[in-house]
């Protein structure tokens, strides 16, 4: 009996230590977790955004400029919250949100971070980017931590075709659903299953770079892959094999 009581006390202490350890770990990673984004395919980001544009960075609006009532170009002044960076963008092409953008050719895009611990992506003056984001009731063009911002020169051929006209075509007919290895059975005839468990092997985001979800000839939705997908898939499989060896 005495032995059993000692074992019980030991187990209780072990459990208390385990709970403390878990709590400490959770507290330590809380800031990092707040900055993490669920994987999203460019087609998903295109469809959920109220505007998608190609634009060139021509300036950055500093807090001091706002405080002195000065603005850059012909953009109306707005308040910048802490943790927000405003860039002046020369719009070269509107892929989505023509009604939102109107005839403006110089706009401010507000890049906002979800939490003060999160880093904002730094954009370089003179470089051309694809911006996806949302236009709010105050007239601001907002880009969040998890929105798609990518230098235009880094787009694959499939992605360029997508933002021009092909992503929009399937926004209301097909949807991309995330899954993990072993549970990637198609949910419905309108779904394309994306196995995100494979992301991270050599940074080979093959579906995001070389695939789009389309309506097939049989009426169901499925992946359409470019010629680059096969090579990307092969390299990803090789990276995965080398990692687990």
How far from each other are the two terminal CA atoms of the chain, in whole angstroms? Answer: 49
- Interatomic CA distance for residues 230 and 94, integer angstroms: 31
**Distances in Å between the alpha carbon of 186 and those of 68, 175, 192, 227?**
56, 11, 7, 24
Please, are residues 97 and 131 in contact by the beta-carbon 8 Å criterion? no
Q: What are phi and psi of 186, to 5 degrees?
A: -60, 125
Nearest to 142 by CA among 19, 36, 17, 49: 49
47 is in an annotated binding site: no
- Rounded to whole angstroms, how far apart are CA atoms 64 and 56? 23
What are the binding residues for Zn(2+)?
A: 35
What are the binding residues?
A: 35
């Amino acid at each position: 009996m005495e032995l059993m009581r000692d074992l019980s006390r030991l187990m209780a202490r072990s459990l208390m230590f385990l709970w403390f350890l878990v709590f400490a770990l959770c507290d330590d990673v809380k800031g990092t977790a707040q900055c993490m984004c669920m994987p999203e395919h460019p087609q998903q980001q295109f469809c959920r955004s109220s505007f998608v544009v190609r634009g060139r960075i021509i300036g950055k609006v500093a807090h001091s400029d706002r405080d002195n009532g000065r603005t850059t170009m012909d953009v109306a002044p707005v308040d910048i919250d802490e943790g927000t960076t405003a860039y002046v963008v020369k719009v070269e092409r509107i892929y989505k949100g023509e009604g939102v953008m109107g005839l403006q050719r110089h706009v401010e895009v507000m890049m906002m971070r979800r939490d003060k611990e999160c880093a904002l992506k730094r954009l370089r003056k003179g470089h051309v980017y694809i911006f996806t984001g949302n236009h709010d009731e105050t007239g601001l063009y907002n880009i969040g931590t998890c929105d798609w911002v990518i230098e235009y020169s880094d787009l694959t051929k499939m992605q360029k075709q997508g933002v021009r006209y092909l992503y929009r075509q399937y926004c209301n007919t097909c949807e991309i659903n995330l899954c993990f290895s072993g549970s990637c059975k198609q949910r419905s005839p309108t779904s394309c299953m994306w196995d995100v468990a494979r992301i991270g092997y050599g940074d080979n985001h093959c579906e995001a770079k070389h695939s789009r979800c389309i309506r097939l000839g049989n009426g169901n939705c499925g992946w359409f892959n470019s010629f680059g997908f096969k090579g990307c898939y092969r390299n990803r499989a090789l990276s995965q094999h080398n990692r687990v060896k």
